Amino acid sequence: MFDAMVDPTAGPANHARATVLAARKPDLRGSRVGLLANVKRNAEQFLDEVGALLRQEHGAADVVRRKKMSITDPVPPDILADLVASCDVVVVGVGDCGSCSASAVADGLALEAAGIPAVVVTTDAFSVTADAMAKLQGSPGYHYVRTAHPVAPLGAEELHERAVAALPEIVATLTGPAKAPGPSVGADPAQETLTGPRRDGG
Amino acid sequence: MTVADVAASQASLDYARAAIEHAYDQGWTDGLPVVPVTRPMVEEFLAQTPRPADEVIAAVPHLSRECTVEQAAVNAALAGCRPEYFPVVLAAWEALGRDRAVTGGGWQSTSGPAPLIVVNGPIRHQLGINCTGGVLGPGFRANATIARAIGLVVRNVFGIQPQELEQATQGIPGRWTLCVGENEEESPWEPLATEVGLPAGTDAVSATLLRTCEFVDNRHTQNPEELLADFADTIARTGAAIVPYSSAGLVLGVEHAQMLAANGFAKRDVQQWLYDRCVRSHEDLARVGKSLDGRTGPGIDEYGLHMLPSPEQLLIVVAGARNAAMSMVVRPFGFAGWSRSAVPIKRANKQQAPGPSVGADQDQRS
């Protein structure tokens, strides 16, 4: 009935394709872990806690720290290339604002597209914008790890506790068999492809 | 009219209503009804500009989003623009693209800023862009729909929608309504576009993002420095400072502008006077929890903080009616300042005379 109406959302930029997640190894032993921090307060400290735990408890060999200075823009190409060249997996975070949470999701997808398993950590106050970014990028349902908002005012001990609490889901997201693209019975194919490995396997 | 004619007319209007509801159902609107857009309408808009339909006119790289001339045309039509407004919309996009706050994620900001679009040149009168009474308010199709066309691209093309990728904490009133013509005829000074470097008489658009407008009503004095001191009190209020930054501009009413000019103030004198005096002391800032904590930098001295980044960053536009001595302090968003530039409006060589285009014979365009 309204076929003659032009869709104002349609356009060449609208056909973002779903990102196929990078292949995962079953564990993190011997892996080089990239930590991609933003400039929000406590982001680097939180990721450092995660990095230390991954080495102590999961046998990660080393961490590579990188920081991006824009809270909005995607990870710069040189930092992305550097992480791809020097890391086996990358932890991205902490998304604790409107722009940077969405941006962190975009960075996670960029790393996956480059073949590097990644996990994004954002706070729960910004789930909606993180989800919206995943959808905009053609990857609705992209799985990321949530921690409570806010992160900025936490002290060192609280940050450590947050990292400990998030660790199992971070590890599960970075490991395990990546789901094969393609439809499965009773599930939205896009969701199925993009949700990624989870601790519960589903 | 026969009964059958009435019935046919009723059916057409019912269909129009259903089409508007369809647009709502699709999530294409900003909350107000939109105009259903057809392919021939889009062609009418595209005929108004020399720019190719597939040219990218704005982008949000971090969202992997771009807007082409054609997508902007669709959304301008949707917003209720007439086709001849479209070159103004395109120039507004180019002007916004020069604003670091726009390219730095401003559309998603928690502050929910509004684009202020300022039009100079004879095109104001050709298109009916209001520059006098009620210039910031409703009632003028060109002003209302050119600004709305920007907002619909942000929503529909960039996919930045409230409570999703747009994270405005409260937003501001009139976010997609601020398109004004400068009242060049009654301004005592050169138009904004001329001030920032374009030849006099150029049709041009300047733009920046605003966080708000605050009125200064001063029908009390004929002393220019008393008036400027009244502006300074609003400009320098602490709530607008995100220490160590603040910003301001003036949409000056005609009476204020003329009084200042009659007393020998050029625009740059107004800018310098306000830059020098819009300073808050360290004590004032500390009292509201915005202490500089020993920080140093541009605009910070032993007394306190300059609330304008520089004299020339004080945007001055003259607009409104010459019927009362009131003005607006406006608040450019972002720390990088506004671009201090104006974009010439480029129209297609073969101008269609402004006139009714809805329902025009489609063959005329081919």
Q: Which residues contact residue B47 at a Cβ distance below 8 angstroms, ignoring those fewer than 6 apart?
A: B83, B348, B352, B365
SS3 B44: helix
Q: What is the percentage of chain B residues whose pLDDT exceeds 70?
A: 95
Q: Of how many residues is chain B composed?
A: 366
Provide, as residue numbers in chain B, all residues whose Cβ is less than 8 Å from the Cβ of A9. 26, 28, 156-157, 159
Gap from B295 CA to chain A (nearest CA, Å): 18
What does the DSSP assignment read for A139-202? -TT---EEEPSP-TT--HHHHHHHHHHHHHHHHHHHBSPPPPSS--TTS-HHHHHHH---TT--
What's the token pair of residue A16? 């973002």
ipTM of the complex in this document? 0.89
Alpha carbon of A172 to those of A50, A94, A178, B117, B313: distances in Å?
Answer: 13, 18, 11, 50, 51
pLDDT above 50 for B291: yes
Question: Do residue A4 and residue B39 have CB atoms under 8 angstroms apart?
Answer: yes
Count A/B contacts: CB-CB distance under 8 Å: 106
Gap from A110 CA to chain B (nearest CA, Å): 11
Segment B71-79 shows an average pLDDT of: 98
Q: What does the alpha-carbon distance between residue A27 and residue A30 come to, in Å, rounded to a whole number? A: 9
> For position B351, what pLDDT does the model report?
52
Gap from B38 CA to chain A (nearest CA, Å): 5
DSSP H helices, chain B, are: 3-25, 39-46, 69-79, 86-97, 100-103, 123-127, 141-156, 192-195, 224-235, 254-262, 267-277, 282-287
Question: Do residue A102 and residue B108 have CB atoms under 8 angstroms apart?
Answer: yes
B65: nearest CB among A8, A13, A126: A13
pLDDT above 70 for A198: no
SS3 B347: coil
Average pLDDT, chain A: 84
A73: nearest CB among B62, B68, B70: B62
Question: Do residue B19 and residue A73 have CB atoms under 8 angstroms apart?
Answer: no
Chain A residue with the nearest C-alpha to that of B160: A132
B66: nearest CB among A13, A98, A102: A13
Question: Do residue B165 and residue A132 have CB atoms under 8 angstroms apart?
Answer: yes
Gap from B211 CA to chain A (nearest CA, Å): 17
Hey, which residues does B249 pair with through a beta bridge?
Answer: B315, B330
Query: Is residue A2 less than 8 Å (CB to CB) from chain B?
Result: yes
pLDDT tier for residue A8 given thresholds of 50, 70 and 90: very high
pLDDT above 60 for B353: no
Tell me the one-letter amino acid at A57.
E
Query: Is residue B164 less than 8 Å (CB to CB) from chain A?
Result: yes
pLDDT tier for residue A85 given thresholds of 50, 70 and 90: very high
Gap from A61 CA to chain B (nearest CA, Å): 32
pLDDT above 50 for B319: yes
Hey, which residues does B329 pair with through a beta bridge?
Answer: B214, B250
Q: What does the alpha-carbon distance between residue B172 and residue A113 come to, in Å, rounded to a whole number? A: 38
Segment B217-230 shows an average pLDDT of: 98
pTM to 2 decimals? 0.82
Chain A residue with the nearest C-alpha to that of B58: A13
What's the token pair of residue B40? 């021939």
Q: What does the alpha-carbon distance between residue B296 and residue B143 come to, in Å, rounded to a whole number? A: 42
Of the listed ranges A126-140, B6-20, B69-83, B240-254, the one predicted with least confidence: A126-140
Query: Is residue B42 less than 8 Å (CB to CB) from chain A?
Result: yes
What's the token pair of residue B295? 């920080």
Gap from B37 CA to chain A (nearest CA, Å): 5
Which of the residues B37, B89, B108, B157 would you substitute to probe the A interface, choosing the one with the greatest number of A C-beta atoms within 10 Å? B108
B64: nearest CB among A13, A128, A129: A13
Q: pLDDT for B324-349, tens place per residue?
A: 999 999 999 977 789 999 999 999 98
Gap from A64 CA to chain B (nearest CA, Å): 24
pLDDT above 60 for B113: yes
Q: How far apart are the first and last CA of chain B?
A: 34
Q: What does the alpha-carbon distance between residue A42 and residue B362 come to, in Å, rounded to a whole number? A: 61
Q: Are B211 and B111 in contact (CB under 8 A)?
A: yes
pLDDT above 80 for A15: no
Segment B55-61 shows an average pLDDT of: 93
A98: nearest CB among B39, B64, B110: B110
Relative orientation angle of helices B86-97 and B141-156, to the nearest 10 degrees = 60
Which of the residues A6, A68, A122, A123 would you substitute to probe the B interface, choosing the one with the greatest number of B C-beta atoms within 10 Å? A6
Q: What does the alpha-carbon distance between residue A195 and residue A139 come to, in Å, rounded to a whole number? A: 8
> For position B183, what pLDDT does the model report?
98
SS3 B65: strand
> For position A14, what pLDDT does the model report?
52
Segment A165-188 shows an average pLDDT of: 68
In the block, residue with structure tokens 């994620």: B105
B296 against B356, higher pLDDT: B296
What does the DSSP assignment read for B311-322? GGGSEEEE-S-T
φ and ψ at residue B126, rounded to 5 degrees = -65, -35
Task: Name the A residues in 79-98 with CB < 8 Å from any B CB.
Answer: 97-98
Q: Which residues contact residue B329 at a Cβ distance below 8 angstroms, ignoring those fewer than 6 apart?
A: B213, B214, B215, B216, B231, B234, B235, B248, B249, B250
> For position B357, what pLDDT does the model report?
45
> For position B16, what pLDDT does the model report?
96
Segment A56-85 shows an average pLDDT of: 93
pLDDT above 50 for A187: no
Segment B293-298 shows an average pLDDT of: 87
How many other C-beta atoms are found inside a 10 Å radius of the C-beta of residue B258?
18
pLDDT above 70 for A48: yes
Of the listed ranges A142-151, A170-179, B231-240, the one predicted with least confidence: A170-179
